[in-house]
Structure 1
Amino acid sequence: MHLPVLSTGDLVLRPIEDKDTAALFRHFSDDAVTKYMDIDSFSNISEATHIIQFFRQSLEKEEGMRWAITLAGKDELIGTCGYHKINKTHFKAEIGYDLQPVYWGKGVMKEAISAMLTYGYEELQFNRIEAFVDPENQASSKLLSRLGFRYEGFLRDAFFEKGKFVNAELYSLLRHEHTRESIF
């Protein structure tokens, strides 16, 4: 599976590379970034090295793909987004995303996910794209709604993360519901 560079004008989504190790470590060391994620905040740079290897292996196995989000004209990672749990049999995948707090509320993630969705539907031929959100993460729920995702339900104790069971909200967007014009 190939991970292309996606450009939106303001953003460039590119493969995460070894040169991103320090930026990725800083990013995932921030408790605000990892608060609603299924990973603990990084405490050692080797964790960044391992997650880069994980992303590469996931791509090689065709189970997932993850992009570095960068501002056009600048190459520093400010967040990540991608597909995981790709299921070719059922033409679907789950999305995940994270962003440095300084960029929250500025439309960066909406633009990044929009590009990712277009690629998923047009190139990867997904029919369904899902997202699981911590019910407390209202900003993520609002973002998905603005992107056209539909709320499908509340999942009690759906995941075991950071030593406890956590609830999740399930959102989905089907190919026929996705339009480029309504997103950009």
Structure 2
Amino acid sequence: MHLPVLSTGALVLRPIEEKDTAALFRHFSDDAVTQFMDIDSFTNISDAIQIIQFFRESLEKEEGMRWGITVAGSDELVGTCGFHKINKPHFKAEIGYDLRPLYWGQGIMKEAVSAMLAYGYDVLQFNRIEAFVDPANIASSKLLARLGFRHEGFLRDAFFEKGKFVDAEIYSLLRREHSRESIY
């Protein structure tokens, strides 16, 4: 599977590389970034090296793909987004995304995920894209609603993360509901 560079004009979504190790460490060592994620905040630079390897292996196995989000004109990562749990036989995948707090509330994630969704429907031919959200993560729920995702339900004790069971809300967007015109 190939991970292309996606450009929206204001943003560039690009493959994550070894040169991003320090930026990923800073990013994922911030508790505000990892608060609602299924990973612990990074405590060692080796955590960043391992996640880069994980992203690479997921792509090679065709199970997932993760982009680094950069603001056009700068190569510094401000966040990441991607597909995981790609299920080719069922034409679906799950999405995940994260952004440095300095960039929250600026529409960056809506723009990045919109580009990713267009690629998922137009190139990867997904029919269904899902997102699992911690009910306390109101910003993520609002983002998904703005992108046209439908709230499908509330899952009690759906995941075991950071030493405890956590609830999740599930959202989905079907190809026929996706309103953005193709950029491919």
TM-score between both structures, scaled by the size of structure 2:
0.98
Distance in 1 of aligned mates of 2:130 and 2:85: 10
Instruction: Show structure 1 runs of 4+ deviating over 2 A.
Output: none
Q: Which residue of 2 aligns with 1:70?
A: 70
Alpha-carbon distance, 1:39 to partner: 0.3
Alpha-carbon distance, 1:179 to partner: 1.4
Flag structure 1 segments of 5+ consecutive residues without an equivalent.
none
Matched, 1:56 2:56: yes
Q: Which residue of 2 aligns with 1:16?
A: 16
Distance in 1 of aligned mates of 2:111 and 2:101: 16
Q: Which residue of 2 aligns with 1:162?
A: 162
TM-score between both structures, scaled by the size of structure 1:
0.98
Q: Which residue of 2 aligns with 1:43?
A: 43
Q: Which residue of 2 aligns with 1:80?
A: 80
Distance in 1 of aligned mates of 2:45 and 2:101: 20
Matched, 1:99 2:95: no
Q: How does 1:84-163 map to 2 (within 5 A)?
A: 84-163=84-163
Distance in 1 of aligned mates of 2:36 and 2:74: 27
Percent sequence identity over matched residues? 83
Aligned residue for 1:180, secondary structure, equals coil
Distance in 2 of aligned mates of 1:111 and 1:118: 11
1:133-171 CA-to-partner distances (Å, cap 9, x unmatched) read: 000000000000000000000000000000000000000
Distance in 2 of aligned mates of 1:167 and 1:140: 15
Alpha-carbon distance, 1:180 to partner: 1.1
Flag structure 2 segments of 5+ consecutive residues without an equivalent.
none
Aligned pairs, number: 181
Please give the root-mean-square deviation of Cα atoms over the aligned residues, in Å.
Answer: 0.5
Distance in 2 of aligned mates of 1:134 and 1:37: 8
Alpha-carbon distance, 1:89 to partner: 0.3
1:109-156 CA-to-partner distances (Å, cap 9, x unmatched) read: 000000000000000000000000000000000000000000000000
